[in-house]
Amino acid sequence: METSDRVGILTLNRPEVLNALDEEMAGALHEGLRTMAGTAKLRCVVIRGAGDAFMAGGDIVHFRRLLPRLEAGDTALLRPIFEHVHGVALLLRRMPQPVIAQVHGAVAGFGFSLMLGCDLVLAAENSRFVLAYRDIGVSPDGGATYGLARHAGIKKAMELTLLGERFGAQEALRIGLINRVVPQAELGAAAAEWAHRVATGPGRALARSKQLINKSLERGLTEQLAAEQRSFTECAVEADFAEGVAAFVAKRSAHFNKE
């Protein structure tokens, strides 16, 4: 976890196992996101993977160690990792800062779910996507069934989940799971440029915009229009609005987040 120029960076750092998720890593990711969500000076968060992959899913070796207890019916031992994994899914949706996923290589299992939960996704050309849960005999977690149906539609979500389809970056772009594909060598710079654009934008207005878009999935039009009016009104009395108007009139770049 690191911060620079109002941008928080979380690096999934188990490259020797393609950043496969175990309980310890899930806890660290949850705590890192929670810390960043509560850091007012941060305006954007980037999640990336060390080594050759974003995340290749859950750590099967870790789950194999749990098998004797699971086969005996002791499912309580799964609660801690679910608290972290689903805590991450909720934080991604609720935290004020926009979150960018910077993905490459394998994006599988919870790595797929994690990517879906982010607000923007930049993918390297070498990215390879698969939901993967069917391959180990379980149903998806981490919000995958929530995000996938909304991004790709019910039929495509069924296809990817029930058939375990594997696909590349261009297909992910076509079906709306990611925002842009870039060469691997340019991925870091592209993510940094997007993060800078978000971090130097009007922070409170962007946080409200994120919330409005997410809540639109749960509201009718009348309720959403009322929420838009409340949000705009709140923005209009803040310094960023005055700066944005002044900059537009003066035909200069705006300098937000002065308060």
CATH assignment of the domain containing 210:
1.10.12
Contact 146, 167 (CB under 8 A): no
Q: Over the stretch 128-138, which tens digit does the pLDDT of each residue have?
A: 999 999 998 99
**Does residue 258 form part of some domain?**
no
pTM as predicted = 0.93
60 CA to centre of own chain: 23
CATH assignment of the domain containing 14:
3.90.226.10
Strand pairing class (180-182; 2-4): unpaired
Instruction: Please check whether residues 135 and 66 belong to one and the same domain.
Output: yes
Q: Over the stretch 26-74, which tens digit does the pLDDT of each residue have?
A: 999 999 999 999 999 999 999 999 999 999 998 888 888 888 898 899 8
Number of other residues whose CB lies within 10 A of the CB of residue 80:
12
Instruction: Please check whether residues 138 and 245 belong to one and the same domain.
Output: no
Instruction: Please check whether residues 159 and 188 belong to one and the same domain.
Output: yes
Token pair for 91: 């934080």
**Does residue 172 form part of some domain?**
yes
Instruction: Please check whether residues 57 and 180 belong to one and the same domain.
Output: yes
Instruction: Please check whether residues 68 and 189 belong to one and the same domain.
Output: yes
Instruction: Please check whether residues 147 and 185 belong to one and the same domain.
Output: yes
**DSSP per residue, 58-71:** B-HHHHHHHHHHHH
Token pair for 137: 């005999």
| Per-residue pLDDT at 259 | 58
**Does residue 117 form part of some domain?**
yes
User: Which residues constitute the domain of residue 85?
Assistant: 2-199
Rounded CA-CA distance 144/47 in Å is: 17
Q: Using DSSP, state whether 41 is helix, strand or coil.
A: coil
Give me the number of domains the chain comprises.
Answer: 2
